Structure 1
Amino acid sequence: MIIVTGATGKLGRRIVERLLLRVPADRVGVSVRDPRKAQALADRGVRVRQGSFDDPASLAHSFADAEQLLLVSLDRTGAECVDGHRAAIDAAVRAGAGRILYTSQMGAAHDAHFQACRDHAETEDLLRATGLPWTALRNGFYAASALQFLEAARHTGDIALPADGPVAWTGHDDLAEATAAILAGEARFEGPTPPLTAPAALDFEAVAELASQATGRPFTRTVVADEAFREQALAHGAPAPIADLMLSIFVAARNGEFTAVDPTLARLIGREPASFRSELERAWAA
């Protein structure tokens, strides 16, 4: 059985939908915090069990019979994130999982400027230490994050953000398709995959040009000092750790940590991944 955690989330939900196009529903199980949110999957024959990263006993039960377990990374940072992943990995080992797959990120490294990438590196260490077969899906930086940064500019026409660098902004749909293909046995990777990225890395100067082309409206790019950006985030209600986390994305980008572009994602999904312009046009048309 293939077990997927976080199956009601933005990425996990997409992965399960694409997996069900490839394997029978009775071969798929999901581990979710609230099974009521996965009732539609249960109605289609998917095994739904309650599992919380804060309750290791529940995870061991929800991971039972896992030939493969996909651990979708937690939306947490620092020790809270890594401890949750450790609990899930330990539960997977106790449940006898045959292989653990994990949604890591391009740029995962112990010395990364972005905290999440340091968390991914620590989690990959935990996977390595299990002795089980494992795969870390080095996902490109989510295009959805760039779209969040652009929300104010959508109305003002000015992309006012800290100095950055090229980032391989990558769509959830393409990453979900690739993950489902790997889970279904269409490809196999030992350890970290190559970066799973969109076809181009763009800085926000290039994004401003794309936004102008896509909308027919002029967009400008204004560089905001790091501290000014942090103060603005705090003024809008962001807790200090979140403001620091957002700022670190730009620091990492200008350090070249998200620049890599690789053809592996295209090979896995059998087509060119969506461009950032197409992701932007779809989001802004909604």
Structure 2
Amino acid sequence: MRIVLTGASGRIGAAAARRLVGAPGVQLRLVGRSLDRLPRIEGAEVAQAEFSDAAACRAAFAGADALLLVSAGEAADRLDQHRIAIEAATEAGVGHVVYTSFLGASEDAGFTLARDHGATEQLLRGSGLAWTLLRDSFYADVLLDFAGPDRVIRGPGGTGRCAFVSRRDVAEVAAAVLRDPAPWAGRTLDLTGPVAVSFAEAALLMTRARGEEYEFVDETLAEARASRAPYGAPDWQVDAWISTYTAIADGELDVVGGGVEEVLGRPPRTLEQAVAEPL
């Protein structure tokens, strides 16, 4: 069985690949934009491809019984990249695609980047490929990046709640589904943590887990734009960053899904566990 993993130089793709090392009868192929950044895994094939390069994707995906399609990074043309990659997977005869989507993905999702995910899901459904959708909640360990060196999470999140999921859990679920995709064909799995918490509660849990104080500052929309202005990002990207918080404030991410336990047979990691040992 040949399993091909895109985004293999990223945290989810690399972690999923490592969990497949030594699986009986499995041949791994790691795909990334730069061969130099791919993890060194003995016996694994490597291929260089960007989603925008149809020919490179077809070559990288050829012979894949299962393909992990890790969503592209934030970009104005991300949906176009996904379309090219899915068309390449179809043309390459991929057996099954496992796509890292987002919780509540749809054309009118409050988190603006989830709209691309919703459109990508529709592309997969119409592709003729076998597929499984992993709808991840926001990653718990990314809260450490949000907090930064001053350990303050800032954004218009209000008292909304989110069941932040561990990236380790997402990688383990992806690896398990790739190893035996047939039972999960046509399934949409909500991958979340075990309980939904507010940003203020998350900061308290992070403080307990890491032994250093974290804080949440609830910004207004105007304050959120002002605090992100120094990055010089385009408007669509700033809107996406801010919608991370407003989608939670509006209750859209107050969902506890059963996907992690259904696939792995154990409860998902807690937020404390995720930030204590980030991926």
Identity of aligned residues (%): 35
Q: Pick closer, same or farther for the CA change 1:227–1:192 going to 2, 3 Å.
A: farther
Q: Pick closer, same or farther for the CA change 1:62–1:221 going to 2, 3 Å.
A: closer
Any unmatched runs of 5+ in structure 2? none
Question: Aligned ranges for residues 124-135 of structure 1 at < 5 Å?
Answer: 124-135=121-132
Range with bigger deviation, 269-278 or 253-262: 269-278
Task: Provide, for residues 79-125 of structure 1, a one-character-per-residue CA deviation record: whole Å limited to 9, x for no partner.
Answer: x1111011111111111111122111112111101121100000011
1:146–1:169 Cα contact (<8 Å) kept: no
What secondary structure is seen at the aligned counterpart in 2 of 1:143?
A: coil
After TM superposition, the score normalised by the length of structure 1 is 0.88
> How far 1:37 moved relative to its partner?
2.8
What's the counterpart of residue 197 of structure 2?
Answer: 202
Counterparts of 1:20 and 1:216, CA distance in 2: 34
What's the counterpart of residue 229 of structure 1?
Answer: 224
Question: Aligned ranges for residues 1-286 of structure 1 at < 5 Å?
Answer: 1-24=2-25, 27-38=27-38, 40-41=40-41, 44-78=42-76, 80-154=77-151, 159-164=153-158, 165-185=160-180, 188-214=183-209, 220-283=215-278
Counterparts of 2:98 and 2:214, CA distance in 1: 40
Letter matched to residue 31 of structure 2: S
> How far 1:55 moved relative to its partner?
1.3
2:112–2:239 Cα contact (<8 Å) kept: no
Letter matched to residue 184 of structure 2: F
- How many residues were matched structurally? 277
Counterparts of 2:46 and 2:70, CA distance in 1: 16
What secondary structure is seen at the aligned counterpart in 1 of 2:277?
A: helix
After TM superposition, the score normalised by the length of structure 2 is 0.90
- Structure having the larger proportion of residues in helix: 1
List structure 1 runs of 4+ shifted beyond 6 angstroms: none
Task: Provide, for residues 217-264 of structure 1, a one-character-per-residue CA deviation record: whole Å limited to 9, x for no partner.
Answer: 665543211111111110354443332211111111122221111232
> How far 1:58 moved relative to its partner?
0.8
Task: Provide, for residues 40-65 of structure 1, a one-character-per-residue CA deviation record: whole Å limited to 9, x for no partner.
Answer: 23xx1112122221211111111111
- After superposition, the CA RMSD in angstroms is 2.2
Any unmatched runs of 5+ in structure 1? none
What secondary structure is seen at the aligned counterpart in 2 of 1:138?
A: strand
Q: Pick closer, same or farther for the CA change 1:240–1:127 going to 2, 3 Å.
A: same
